[in-house]
């Protein structure tokens, strides 16, 4: 990658000086507070904090006067408690996938959709997608934001869009081959699944025209990225978003693939300590908190994402003013406590996916064995390895176990499976099955 590979979609918005960005943020924060005060939920919540007018916000520092908003707040004000405009002005609603409970609903005016489209077009352009590309969107269309979100951006960019939707691997391959798809958008787990099905479909990577994948919607490690890149011979770019902040187009990697630029003209970014709720400095790991700056139908103030990451303190070579966040480590509630050791599934993934013997899918099962927790790591290995001598299989099992013990101090039971034997989900991958009885509090 060199500087000549950099493509800007909106030079003014992407390259403005930091001071100008901050000035715009303050202006838009005031507007957002003004809109929020029109909702049943925030008028009460903000009044409790002594904020009754946008004039109560005089600098970005005043942000800390504003209370946080949580997923439960969105749930409890369902369906219309957070709507800030008359219903006639709303043209669409989306909902979260419901990974952690009842889905939450976000409304959009025409202008909200326009602003979101601008962000997704900008994001795709940052990875080098152009109007010459054939873009196959393998995310689900519907309430989930992954389908329509990038669809609009890709059309705005002028790419040829194939709204394939999720699943139906056979058809995905047919579309890819017939229309010479150059860019796909999918979850990383689905991309690995696609690869594992190539052989069944008697297809070779060389018969495809694929150059890039935009992968997101679920956490994945750098080693999974590398695996997908090497298997398909393509570039994979990380895409982060959440339905509460529109969906995809919140943060995206540029061609330098060193963290995801958060579009700070649209989202005010904070990183907080999830326990003390105090703001952290750039570089420190914590929970991401976002405030919408350009949304009128559902303004959200200091929304706690529960996603863990950190801000890179240095500038990106691409020159964009927007700060970058590190790949998401997981959600605060993903953390597993195994016999007293705290671990994130992403740490297990990082270790096993570095091993060339390990295939494209894995699953973690946690259960009680007497008083102790037992963790089983199930992974697929290549068909050839599987048909070989069981002594080799045992060696691989030992190696996985040792690597996990050495790097994250857990001693799992390891199970090896044939390719395609572990369950794959059409939406977000379900990696962890925790069947331990819940402790009552």
299 near ligand ADP, rule: CB under 6 A: no
Rounded least distance, CB 238 to Zn ion, Å? 12
Please report, as residue ranges, which positions from 113 to 172 form the binding site for ligand ADP (by CB under 6 A): 144
Span interacting with ligand ADP, options 97-105, 174-182, 364-372, 402-410, rule CB under 6 A: 97-105
Q: What is the 3-state secondary structure (H, E, C) of the chain?
A: CCHHHCCCCCHHHHHCCHHHHHHHHHHHHHHHHHHHCCCHHHHHHHHHCCCCCHHHCCCHHHHHHCCCECHHHHHHCCCCCCCCCCHHHEEEEEECCCCCCCCCEEEEEHHHHHHHHHHHHHHHHHCCCCCCCEEEECCCCCCCHHHHHHHHHHHHHCCEEECCCCCCHHHHHHHHHHCCCCEEEECHHHHHHHHHHHCCCCCCHHHCCCCEEEEECCCCCHHHHHHHHHHHCCEEEEEEEEHHHCEEEEEEECCCCCCEEECCCCEEEEEECCCCCCECCCCCCEEEEEEECCCCCCCCCCEEEEEEECECCCCCCCCCCCCEECCCCEEHHHCEEECCEEECHHHHHHHHCCCCCEEEEEEEEEEEECCEEEEEEEEEECHHHHHCCHHHHHHHHHHHHHHHHHHHCCCCEEEEECCCCCCCCCCCCCCEEECCCCCCC
With CB under 6 A as the rule, give the number of residues binding ligand ADP: 20
- The correct pick among 169, 243, 291, 361 for binding ligand ADP (CB under 6 A) is 243
Residue numbers at the binding site for Zn ion (CB under 5 A)? 254, 316, 318
Rounded least distance, CB 189 to ligand ADP, Å? 11
266 near ligand ADP, rule: CB under 6 A: no
345 near ligand ADP, rule: CB under 6 A: no
Span interacting with ligand ADP, options 213-221, 261-269, 271-279, 367-375, rule CB under 6 A: 213-221
Rounded least distance, CB 397 to ligand ADP, Å? 29
Give the one entry of ligand ADP, Zn ion, none that residue 412 binds, where binding means its C-beta sits below a cut-off of 5 to 8 angstroms depending on kind: none
Q: Which is nearer to ligand ADP, 38 or 331 (CB)?
A: 331
- The correct pick among 117, 238, 296, 361 for binding ligand ADP (CB under 6 A) is 238
Q: Which is nearer to Zn ion, 208 or 316 (CB)?
A: 316
Give the one entry of Zn ion, ligand ADP, none that residue 254 binds, where binding means its C-beta sits below a cut-off of 5 to 8 angstroms depending on kind: Zn ion
218 near ligand ADP, rule: CB under 6 A: yes
242 near ligand ADP, rule: CB under 6 A: yes
Contact residues for ligand ADP (CB under 6 A)?
A: 96-100, 144, 216-219, 238-243, 305, 307, 328, 331
């Amino acid at each position: 990658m060199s500087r000549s590979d950099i493509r800007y979609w909106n030079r003014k918005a992407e390259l403005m000086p930091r001071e100008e960005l901050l000035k715009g943020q303050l202006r838009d924060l005031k507007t957002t507070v003004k809109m929020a005060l029109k909702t049943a939920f925030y008028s009460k919540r903000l009044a409790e904090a002594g904020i009754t007018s946008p004039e109560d916000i005089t600098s970005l520092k005043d942000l800390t006067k504003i209370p946080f908003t949580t997923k439960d707040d969105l749930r409890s004000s369902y369906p219309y408690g957070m709507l800030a405009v008359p219903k006639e002005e709303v043209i669409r609603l989306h909902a979260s996938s419901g990974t952690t409970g009842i889905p939450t609903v976000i409304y959009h005016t025409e202008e909200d959709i326009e602003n979101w489209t601008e962000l997704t077009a900008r994001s795709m352009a940052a990875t080098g997608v152009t109007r010459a590309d054939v873009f196959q969107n393998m995310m689900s269309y519907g309430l989930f934001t992954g389908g329509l979100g990038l669809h609009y951006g890709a059309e705005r960019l002028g790419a040829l869009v194939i709204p394939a939707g999720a699943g139906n691997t056979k058809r995905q391959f047919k579309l890819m081959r017939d229309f010479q798809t150059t860019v796909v958008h999918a979850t990383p787990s689905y991309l690995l699944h696609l690869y594992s099905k190539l052989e069944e479909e008697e297809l070779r990577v060389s018969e495809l025209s694929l150059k890039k994948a935009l992968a997101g919607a679920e956490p994945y490690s750098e080693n999974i990225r590398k695996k997908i890149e090497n298997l398909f011979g393509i570039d994979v770019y990380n895409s982060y978003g959440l339905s509460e902040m529109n969906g995809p187009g919140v943060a995206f990697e540029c061609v330098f693939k060193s963290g995801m630029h958060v579009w700070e003209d649209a989202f005010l970014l904070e990183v907080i300590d999830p326990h003390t709720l105090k703001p952290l400095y750039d570089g420190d790991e914590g929970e991401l908190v976002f405030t919408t700056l350009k949304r009128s139908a559902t303004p959200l103030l200091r929304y706690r994402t529960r996603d863990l990451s950190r801000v890179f303190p240095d500038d990106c070579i691409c020159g964009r003013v927007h700060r970058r966040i590190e790949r998401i480590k997981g959600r605060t509630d993903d953390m597993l406590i195994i016999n007293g050791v705290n671990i994130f599934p992403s740490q297990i993934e990082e270790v096993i996916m570095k091993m060339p013997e390990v295939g494209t899918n894995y699953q973690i099962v946690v259960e009680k064995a007497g008083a102790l927790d037992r963790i089983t790591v199930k992974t697929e290995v290549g068909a050839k390895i599987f048909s070989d001598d069981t002594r080799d299989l045992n060696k691989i099992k030992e190696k996985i176990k040792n690597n996990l013990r050495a790097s994250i101090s857990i001693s799992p039971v390891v199970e090896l499976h044939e390719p395609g034997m572990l369950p794959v989900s059409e939406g977000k991958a379900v990696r962890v099955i925790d069947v331990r009885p819940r402790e009552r509090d």
